[in-house]
């Protein structure tokens, strides 16, 4: 019960800060731009080409579900990661920098408990943010092209191709993939959270996290690393795309998410050890 | 109530605290004095479990802070110099969040404390709009909400105007009188410490160089302001009695020596005495003497 109270307080703090809302604003603006692009004749022609080359009917798959999928696929790793790293990088380091932690440490709460509260808040923020992007993207897409139509999925990197002409099946897969992205992105937040527990500035925690993410993505693209791609964090984080496959491969999904879970636990533990052994001068 | 034993802490190879011990009795106001860097804040950090000592231990009501921090701090409130609240939230929300870490928020108790510290009209405003004095009142409110038995004050009156300092002092003294609260007062404002504390410890370069009651300062070795024609003969006579020549035309006499006997002795030694008046030794006098190395460490 006390944990819930503390978590509520942490979330209240998180959402009372203007920078937490920056990501929401940025995504709404980006979704509007993507929709505007989708409405262009040239863009539609390009998409028609892709869909029809795969023997599918364009009118069925030029839909709000497909647009929402594209928004999430294109934006989450590049734009979303910035805001996840920003919020998670701030959560401990900023409070330390501002001196708020002194006030908290005058309270009878253990450091582990404090970190668990903060980490849970970061995970909830990350997960709910992905759903916000999905729901807002879908709402805007519905306003632009209507609600009907199926879902067309093409992700060459992870070799996933699927088409769901039925709206219900498409919507269910999209919701499932949003949950998958949410869990995947928690790993990124965990990296930033770990650095936030160190004796560094909040901006440094954010920048180091993004550097790790981008270096991982760049190296993964090297042909030399192709046989080792499954060892890259971003490859494992992309496992959510497998949720779009017509026949769900549970071993493949479990393997990737177990990898990410183990990584998250390790990152939290390292952060906690660093935080636990630190001195906080008044 | 609080017992600090053999505290030792090194920062960057240099000892910030070197075998410091002190003890606070229930209902006592204890001052921790020293220059910047003397080890006052490190002591407070160790008491709150924010700093891990290399050696030594702090016990609050018999419970070790180093071993059972949460239990030890259950009835402790603390105020810091320039308290850092969540500026983007209201005073009320800040109290609610901070109390969430202390076992829950009681709105009725909070209202009472807020009224008591005189913040009832502004408690709904964002903290970023508060003056320094108002922040300090909010800090006081958050420290009082867990109904503490021990209050730790780290330079709480720094930056306050004289009116604010007086209000703060009277508030703390009132708390002690009313609730028998024990207070550790960490400050370099000697006049405030003298007005508030029962006992003080002086830290110098991480070492405790003095501990004693404030009353002892006043009633200890008597000091006199004297105006003499010849200091040469007077110095010989005074030192011969075991007294001392102090700065600023002051002398101290051995405890128990009647000043009339001293005047008579000086006159007999051929010294013309124009003025001989007892002066009250302030804490500042003692503090400066000790830090200058003239006082005797204990």
In chain B, what residues touch A199 (CB-CB under 8 Å)?
A: none
Mean pLDDT of A168-190: 94
The nearest alpha carbon in chain B to A108 belongs to B70
| Backbone φ and ψ of B68, nearest 5° | -135, 70
For chain A, give the longest Cα–Cα distance: 68
Among residues of chain A, what percentage have pLDDT more than 70? 100
pLDDT band at B281 (very low <50, low <70, confident <90, very high): low
| Per-residue pLDDT tens digits for B144-202 | 888 889 999 988 888 788 888 888 888 888 888 888 899 999 887 888 888 888 888 88
pLDDT, average across residues A212-217: 94
Interface of A with B in 54-113 (CB under 8 A): 98-100, 102-110
The answer to whether the CB atoms of A110 and B78 lie below 8 A apart is no
**How far A185 CA sits from the closest chain B CA (Å)?**
28
What does the DSSP 8-state code read for residue B46?
A: H
CA dist A61 and A42 (Å) reads 17
- What average pLDDT does the structure give for chain A? 91
> Residues with Cβ < 8 Å from A138, sequence gap 6 or more?
A64, A65, A68, A174
How many contacts does A have with B, using Cβ atoms within 8 A? Answer: 97
Structure-token pair, residue A41: 């004749």
A107:B51 CB<8 A:
no
DSSP one-letter code for B212: E
Minimum-distance CB partner of A281 among B42, B85, B96: B42
Tell me the chain A residues in contact with residue B83 when contact means C-beta distances shorter than 8 Å. Answer: 99, 102-103
The pLDDT of residue B217: 65
CA angle A112–A113–A118, rounded 5-degree value? 95
Share of chain A above pLDDT 90, in %: 63
Please enumerate in sequence order all residues whose Cβ is within 8 A of that of A257, keeping only pairs 6 or more positions apart, or say none.
A183, A239
Chain A residue at shortest CA distance from B72: A108
A281 contacts B51? CB cut-off 8 A: yes
Min Cα separation B244/chain A (Å): 40
User: In chain A, whose CA is at the least distance from the CA of B145?
Assistant: A107
Q: Which of A272, A230, A273 is nearest to A116 (CA)?
A: A272
Tell me what pLDDT residue A11 has.
94
Q: What is the pLDDT of residue B294?
A: 53
pLDDT higher than threshold 70 for residue B82: yes
B61 to chain A nearest CA, in Å?
15
Inter-chain touch B50–A13, beta carbons under 8 Å: no
Sheet of strand B14-24, all strands in order from the earlier edge strand to the far edge: B14-24, B2-11, B55-60, B63-64
pLDDT at position A256, please?
94
Bridge partners, B55 (sequence order): B8
Rounded CA-CA distance A276/A267 in Å is 14
pLDDT higher for A194 or B72?
A194
* pTM for the predicted model, two decimal places: 0.85
* pLDDT at position B297: 42
**Pair of tokens at residue B116:** 């008591």
Q: What is the pLDDT of residue A65?
A: 94
Residue with tokens 């306050």: B160
Coil, strand or helix at B229: coil
Closest CA to B78 of B148, B175, B164: B148
Rounded to whole angstroms, the Cα distance separating B257 from B254 reads 6
Beta-ladder partners of B213: B199
Q: Answer whether B82's CB lies under 8 Å from B68's CB.
A: no
Q: By a Cβ cutoff of 8 Å, what residues of chain B touch chain A? A: 11, 41-42, 44-45, 48-52, 69-74, 76-78, 80, 82-86, 88-89, 93, 96-98, 100-105, 142-143, 146, 152, 154
Q: Which residues pair with B78 in a beta bridge?
A: B152
> For residue B292, is pLDDT > 90?
no
Residue B278's pLDDT band, with cuts at 50, 70 and 90, is confident
Q: Quick check: A279 and B50 CB within 8 A?
A: yes
Distance between CA atoms of residues A4 and A27, nearest Å: 29
- How much is the pLDDT for B221? 64
CA distance B49 to A257: 37
Which among A94, A97, A108, A280 is the top mutation candidate for probing chain B, defined by the most B β-carbons within 10 Å of its own β-carbon?
A108
Q: Output the pLDDT for position A118.
A: 96
The model's confidence at residue B220, banded by pLDDT at 50, 70 and 90, is low
CB distance B73–A106 less than 8 Å?
yes
Contact check, Cβ <8 Å, A108/B76: yes
Partners of residue A18 in chain B, C-beta under 8 Å: 88
> What is the phi/psi pair of residue B284, to 5°?
-60, -40
Secondary structure letter of residue B296 according to DSSP: P
Q: Please give the C-alpha separations between residue B189 and each of B137, B156, B284, B287, in angstroms, as whole numbers.
A: 19, 10, 9, 11
Range from A50-59, A167-176, A262-271, B272-281 carrying the lowest mean pLDDT: B272-281
User: Per residue in B178-190, pLDDT tens?
Assistant: 888 999 998 878 8
Residues of B in contact with A108 (CB under 8 A): 69-74, 76, 101-103
Is-contact B150 B2, C-beta < 8 A? yes
Across residues A194-215, what is the average pLDDT?
95
Is residue B296 pLDDT above 50, yes or no? no
Q: Which of A101, A103, A113, A276 to mutate to test the interface with B (most CBs of B within 10 A)?
A: A103
Q: What is the CA radius of gyration of chain B?
A: 23
pLDDT in tens, B35-78: 888 888 899 999 999 999 999 999 999 999 999 998 889 889 99
Per-residue model confidence as pLDDT tens digits over A225-272 = 988 988 999 999 999 999 999 998 999 999 999 999 999 999 999 999
Strands (E), B173-222: 182-187, 199-204, 207-213
What confidence category does residue A165 fall into, taking pLDDT thresholds of 50, 70 and 90?
very high
Q: Please, is A36 exposed, middle or buried when counting C-beta atoms within 10 Å of its C-beta (0-12, 13-18, 19+)?
A: exposed
Cβ-Cβ contacts under 8 Å for B231 (sequence gap 6 or more):
B245
pLDDT at B209: 84
Compare CB distances from B154 to A17, A280, A282 and report the shortest one's residue: A282
**H or E stretch at B154:** strand B150-154
State yes or no: pLDDT of A195 exceeds 90.
yes
Q: Would you tell me how many other CB atoms lie within 10 Å of the CB of residue B120?
A: 11
Mean pLDDT of B252-267: 83
Residues of A in contact with B48 (CB under 8 A): 105-106, 282
Residues A65, A150: contact at Cβ < 8 Å?
A: yes
What mean pLDDT do residues B227-243 have?
84
């Amino acid at each position: 019960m006390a944990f819930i109270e503390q978590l509520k307080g942490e979330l209240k703090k998180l959402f009372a800060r203007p920078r937490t809302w920056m990501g929401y604003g940025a995504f709404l603006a980006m979704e509007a731009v993507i929709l505007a692009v989708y409405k262009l004749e040239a863009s539609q022609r390009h998409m028609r080409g892709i869909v029809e080359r795969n023997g599918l009917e364009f009118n069925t798959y030029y839909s709000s579900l497909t647009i929402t999928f594209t928004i999430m696929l294109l934006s989450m790793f590049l734009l979303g990661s910035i805001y996840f790293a920003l919020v998670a990088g701030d959560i401990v380091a900023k409070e330390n920098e501002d001196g708020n932690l002194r006030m908290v440490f005058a309270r009878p709460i253990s450091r582990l408990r404090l970190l668990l509260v903060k980490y849970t808040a970061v995970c909830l923020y990350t997960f709910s943010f992905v759903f916000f992007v999905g729901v807002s993207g879908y709402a805007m897409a519905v306003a632009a092209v209507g609600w009907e139509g199926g879902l067309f999925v093409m992700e060459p990197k992870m070799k996933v191709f699927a088409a769901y002409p039925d709206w219900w099946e498409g919507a269910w897969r999209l919701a499932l993939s949003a949950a998958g992205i949410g869990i995947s992105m928690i790993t990124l937040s965990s990296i930033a959270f770990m650095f936030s527990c160190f004796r560094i500035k909040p901006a440094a925690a954010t920048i180091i996290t993004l550097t790790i993410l981008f270096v991982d993505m760049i190296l993964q693209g090297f042909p030399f690393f192709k046989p080792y791609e499954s060892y890259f964090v971003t490859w494992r984080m992309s496992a959510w795309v497998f949720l779009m496959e017509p026949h769900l491969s549970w071993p493949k999904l479990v393997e990737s998410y177990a990898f990410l879970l183990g990584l998250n636990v390790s990152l939290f533990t390292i952060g906690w050890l660093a935080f636990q052994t630190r001195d906080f001068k008044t | 109530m609080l017992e600090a034993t053999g505290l030792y802490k090194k920062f960057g190879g240099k000892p910030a605290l070197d075998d410091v011990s002190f003890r606070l009795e229930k209902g006592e106001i204890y001052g921790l004095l020293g220059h910047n860097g003397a080890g006052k804040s490190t002591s407070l950090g160790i008491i709150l479990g924010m700093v891990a000592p290399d050696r030594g231990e702090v016990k609050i009501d018999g419970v070790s802070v180093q071993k059972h921090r949460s239990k030890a701090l259950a009835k402790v409130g603390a105020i810091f110099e320039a308290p850092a609240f969540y500026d983007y939230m209201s005073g009320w929300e800040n109290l609610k969040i901070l109390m969430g870490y202390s076992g829950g928020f009681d709105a009725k108790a909070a209202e009472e404390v807020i009224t008591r510290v005189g913040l009832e009209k502004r408690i709904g405003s964002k903290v970023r709009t508060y003056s320094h004095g108002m922040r300090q009142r909010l800090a006081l409110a958050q420290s009082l909400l867990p109904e503490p038995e021990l209050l730790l004050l780290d330079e709480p009156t720094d930056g306050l105007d004289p009116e604010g300092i007086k209000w703060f002092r009277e508030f703390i003294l009132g708390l002690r009188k009313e609730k028998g609260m024990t207070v550790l007062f960490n400050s370099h404002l000697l006049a405030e410490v003298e007005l508030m504390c029962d006992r003080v410890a002086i830290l110098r370069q991480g070492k405790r160089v003095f501990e004693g009651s404030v009353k002892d300062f006043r009633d200890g070795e008597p000091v006199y302001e004297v105006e003499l024609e010849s200091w040469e003969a007077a110095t010989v006579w005074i030192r011969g009695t075991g007294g001392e020549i102090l700065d600023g035309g002051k002398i101290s006499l051995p405890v128990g020596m009647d000043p009339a006997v001293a005047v008579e002795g000086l006159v007999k030694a051929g010294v013309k005495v124009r003025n001989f008046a007892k002066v009250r030794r302030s804490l500042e006098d003692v503090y400066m003497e000790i830090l200058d190395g003239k006082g005797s460490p204990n």
